[in-house]
Structure 1
Amino acid sequence: MANVIVSHDSTDRYATVTIDRPDAGNAMSPAVIDDLGEQIETVAADDSVRSIVVTGSGRTFSAGADVDAFAARADDPDAVIEYLESFSELYAIIESASIPVIGRVNGPAYGGGYELAMACDVRIASTDATLCPAEIRMGLVPPFERLVLELGDGIARELCYTGGVLEAEAVAETDLFSRVVAPDRLDAAVRDVAGRIAARSPNAVAQTKRAMVRHRADAIARASTYRRALDEQCVRHPDFAESVAAFREGRDPVYE
C-alpha cells in the first residue's frame, strides 16, 4: 500500500499529495520522505499542474518523524543524522519547485510535520490544526528558522524551548497562516487559492516564487547549518537515547 497518494483537480489545475498513514499519525518514515520528494518533483514537472497541495489523510497533517525509525538508529548517530538530513532535503525540494506548494494543515503538525507545513509557500489551516516543534521532546534542536521569520522571535523561543503546542486559531491574525477556517471550509479555501493561482501567468508565478524564496534563503541557510551541527552533538548525547526510549515506553524521560 502506498504511503503517499496523488490526486489531480483538472478544473483548478492543482495536484494533491497526501501522506496516507492515518494509523501512524501520517508519520514521516524514510520511505515516506523519499516518496513525498519524488512525487512533488514529478508533479511540479507536469505543465498541466499550476500548484501542489500537501496534506495528511484523516484528521492529522503529520506527527513528524517516525519514532521507530529513530529507535532503529539509536546506536548509530551517523544514521540518525542522515535521517534528519532527509527532512531538510525534502523541504529544499518544496522550495525549489517552480510552482507554489500549498500546505493544507488539517490537524496536528508535529516535529517534521510542523516543518513540512512551514516549508510550504502558502499555509491554509483548519481551526483543528496545531503546530508543535516537537524535536526538543526527542532531545534535538527544533527547526526554528521559518517559525521565527513568520511568527516572531518571542513566541518561537517559548515553543522551541518547551515543545509547546500552538493552536492555529490562536494565531489566525498573524502571518503564520494565510487563512484559518472551519474544518468544513478547508477544502473550499484550498480550492479557491489554487484556482486563483491557476488563473495567473505560470511564468510570472514561477518567477515570483523564486524571488520570494530567495528573499529569506540566506537567513534560513545560515541558521539551519548551525542548527544541524548542534544536532550532531545532540544525537551523541545520552539525552537523545533517553528521550526516544521514554517516548516509546510512554513515560516521562529522566535526564541526568
Structure 2
Amino acid sequence: MTDVIVSHDKAEQYATVAIDRPDTGNAMSPAVIADLGDHIEATAADDAVRSIVVTGTGGTFSAGADVDVFAARADDPDAVIDYLDSFSALYARMEAVSVPIIGRVNGPAYGGGYELAMACDLRIAATDATLCPAEIRMGVVPPFERLCLELGEGLAQELCFTGGVLEAEAVADTDLFSRVVAPDRLDDAVRDVASRIARRSPNAVAQTKRAMVRHRADEIARGRAYRHALDEQCVRHPDFAESVAAFREGREPDYE
C-alpha cells in the first residue's frame, strides 16, 4: 500500500498528488519523499494534466520530517544530512516539471511540510491552516529562503528563530497565499484556479513557470547552500540529539 495517492479530475484537467499517512500527520518519510517526486514527474508528463495539486489527506497538509527517522539516524550525522538533502532534492524536482503545482494547504504544514507548501508554485489555504518552520525545534536551520521572499524578512525571522506557528488567515493579505478561503470552499477555490490554468496555452504556461522559477532561483540556491553548510555543523552538535529526544518525549529540551 502506497503512502502517496494520485487522483485525476479529467473535466478540469488537473491531478491531485496527496500524502496519505494520516496516522503520522502525513509525515514525510524517505519513501514518501521519493514517491512524491516520482508521482509528480510522472503526472506532469501526462498531456491531459495541465496542473498538479499537492496536499495531504484528512485535516493535515503534512507534519514534515518523520521524527522516527531523525531518531534512528541521530548518531549518524551523514545520514541525517542525506535525509535533509532529500527534501531539497524533492523541491527541485517540483520546480523542474513544466506544469504549475498548486499547494492545497488544508491544515497544519510543519517543518518539511511547510517547505513542501512553499515549494509549490502557488498556495491556496483554508482559513484554519497553519505553517511552521519547525526545523529549529529539531536543532537544525529552518529552510528560510522562500519564506523570506514571500512573506518578508521581519516576520520570517521571528518564525524561524522561534519555530512559531503562522495562521493562514492572519497573513491572507500577504503574498504567501494566492487565496485564503473557508475550509468548505477550499476545493472549489483549487478547482477554479486549475480550470483557468487549463484554458491557457500549455506551452505559454510552461514557459511562464520556467521564467518565474528562474527569476528567484539564484537567491534561493545561495541561501540553501549556506544553510546546508550550517546544518552540517548543527547535526554534529549535542543540541541536535537533545532536540530530537525532547521532541519525541514531549518535554522541553535541556540544552547545556
TM range (shorter): over 0.9
Cα distance in 2 for partners of 1:235, 1:44 equals 35
d(CA) in 1 for partners of 2:4, 2:197? 24
Unaligned runs of 5+ in 2: none
Structure 1: gaps spanning 5 or more residues: none
Quick one: distance in 2 between partners of 1:80 and 1:99?
A: 31
User: What amino acid is the match of 2:117?
Assistant: A
User: How many Å separate the matches in 2 of 1:170 and 1:69?
Assistant: 33
Percentage of identical aligned residues: 82
Aligned counterpart, 2:32: 32
- Given residue 37 of structure 1, which amino acid in structure 2 is its aligned partner? G
What SS class does the counterpart of residue 148 from structure 1 fall into? Answer: helix
Distance between the aligned counterparts of 2:122 and 2:26, measured in 1? 20
Q: Which residue of 1 aligns with 2:92?
A: 92
State whether structure 2 residue 212 is matched by structure 1 residue 212: yes
Q: What is the rounded CA distance, in whole Å, between the counterparts of 2:176 and 2:122 in structure 1?
A: 9
Counterpart-to-counterpart distance in 2, 1:58 and 1:230: 35
CA distance in 1, matches of 2:166, 2:23: 23
Q: Does 1:134 align with 2:134?
A: yes
For residue 27 of structure 1, report the CA deviation from its aligned partner.
0.2
In structure 1, the partner of 2:77 is 77
Give 1:193-208 correspondences, 5 Å limit. Answer: 193-208=193-208
Deviation of 1:2 (Å): 1.1
In structure 1, what is the Cα distance between the partners aligned to 2:192 and 2:94? 21
- 5 Å-filtered alignment, 1:22-171, equals 22-171=22-171
Deviation at residue 5 of structure 1 after TM alignment: 0.1
RMSD, matched Cα: 0.4
SS in 2 for 1:89: helix
4+ long deviations beyond 6 Å:
none
User: What's the secondary structure of 2:191's corresponding residue?
Assistant: helix
Aligned to 2:239, what secondary structure does the other structure show? helix
| Aligned residue pair count | 256
Correspondence for 1:180: 180
SS at match of 1:253: coil
Deviation at 1:216, TM superposition (A): 0.2
| 3-state DSSP of counterpart to 1:80 | helix
Residue of structure 2 in register with 1:190 after alignment: 190
SS of 1:146 mapped into structure 2: helix
TM-score (ref. length: structure 1): 1.00
The secondary structure found in structure 1 opposite 2:135 is helix
CA distance in 1, matches of 2:120, 2:34: 17
SS in 2 for 1:65: coil
Distance in 2 (alpha carbons) for counterparts of 1:95 and 1:225: 17
**Cα drift, residue 128 of structure 1:** 1.2
Query: Structure 2: how far apart are the matches of 1:14 and 1:69?
Result: 32
Q: Deviations over 1:119-173 (max 9, x none)?
A: 0001000011000000000000000000000000000000000000000000000
One-letter code of the match for 1:125? A
